[in-house]
Amino acid sequence: MTFKLITWNINSVRLRMPLIEKLIEMRDPDIICFQEIKCQNDQFPYKAFENLGYKYHAVHGQKGYHGVATVSKTPLTQIHSTDYVKMGDTRHISTCFEAGGKTINIHNFYVPAGGDEPNIEKNPKFDHKLKFIEEMKLLNANEGDTPAIIVGDLNIAPLEEDVWSHKQLLKVVSHTPIEVEGLNAIMDAGDWKDLIRQHIPTPEKVFTWWSYRSKDWKVNNRGRRLDHIWGAAELAEKLTDIEILTQARDWEKCSDHVPVIATFQF
DNA sequence: ATGACGGATCTAATCCGA
């Protein structure tokens, strides 16, 4: 069976339902993981998703900021959230689903952006981000017989080819060496595989986010790869495609992130 | 070229994103 998974930092789920509908019509995924839903649980558009065929929902939102949600055509079980760094933010939701006769665990993350200055003394948001990724080292790609997936906006672009200019971004939060080391430490500790880079190896540049603040995002193409899909080795073997839906950055009233689509053959 | 934008919020100006 073919299984399709999408992760998308939606930057307000309520505002962008028309774009979500368009994406579903285009790609017909089995599961979609959203970040920055920017609404409380009771404001989530459950009915609209049900009408589109996504009857199962795992929603962890808060007022105004952050928030993650996983929607699915097939049942979601063992739904839970972890409050990383105990800030009370809604930045993680974990669920399980069945595919190819196996139970698979999927973690949906919205890692803190980290503020402006990459200095933990001067900038508490950067300190929060580093502590958050430190705690993520406890995640394992395999727990017993259950392989896992991490998706989401990890807000770190680890490789030189994940940013428009490695040199110019070395001191910019999202691409500093300490953040990159932290992300690599999570990968090593939990035995995770970077599925986007497995399918699109360097030196090809890959971006999933472009700032709203440039007049025309395409002119200078100053993007970063902030959104990720990682998986256990046994899932990496089953990956058949990764698509970065760059065209979505041109849609009317678009998010500043584009959908990333993974296809598996189980 | 760290912002020229854009979203949510106690609808007006403020906080936040990265």
Asked whether A7 and A227 are in contact (CB, 8 A), the reply is: yes
Cβ of residue A117 lies below 7 Å from strand B: no
- Give pLDDT tens digits for A3-35: 999 999 999 999 999 999 999 999 999 999 999
- Mean pLDDT to the nearest integer, A204-223: 93
A139/A161 Cα distance (integer angstroms): 26
Cβ of residue A214 lies below 7 Å from strand B: yes
In terms of CATH, what superfamily is A2-265?
Answer: Endonuclease/exonuclease/phosphatase (3.60.10.10)
Tell whether the torsion through CA atoms of A200, A202, A203 and A205 is positive or negative.
positive
Cβ of residue A241 lies below 7 Å from strand B: no
- Give pLDDT tens digits for A136-172: 999 999 999 999 999 999 999 999 999 999 999 999 9
A80/A89 Cα distance (integer angstroms): 14
A13/A242 Cα distance (integer angstroms): 23
Q: Which of A30, A56, A89, A153 is catalytic?
A: A153
- Give pLDDT tens digits for A116-128: 999 999 999 999 9
Neighbours of A146 (CB within 10 A): 15
Cβ of residue A167 lies below 7 Å from strand B: no
What pLDDT, on a 0 to 100 scale, did the predictor assign at position A75?
98
Q: Which residues contact A117 (CB under 8 A, 6 or more apart)?
A: A123, A126, A173
All structural domains of chain A with their residue ranges: 2-265
Residue nearest to nucleotide B8 (CA to C1'): A64
Tell me, yes or no, if A56 is annotated catalytic: no
A266/A237 Cα distance (integer angstroms): 10
| A161-197 as b/e: b if 16+ CB within 10 A | bbbbeeeebeeebbbbeebbebbeebbeebebbbbbb
Cβ of residue A155 lies below 7 Å from strand B: yes
Distance A254 CA to B6 C1' (A): 10
Q: Report the SS3 class of residue A36.
A: coil
Q: How many CA atoms lie within 13 A of A222 on its CB side?
A: 13
Q: Residue with structure tokens 């285009």?
A: A26
Give the nucleotide at minimum CA-to-C1' distance from A117. B2
> What pTM was estimated for this model as a whole?
0.97
What pLDDT, on a 0 to 100 scale, did the predictor assign at position A176?
96
A181/A18 Cα distance (integer angstroms): 38
Strand B positions within 7 A of protein Cβ atoms: 2-10, 16-18
CA angle A94, A52, A148 (to 5 degrees): 20
Tell me, yes or no, if A153 is annotated catalytic: yes
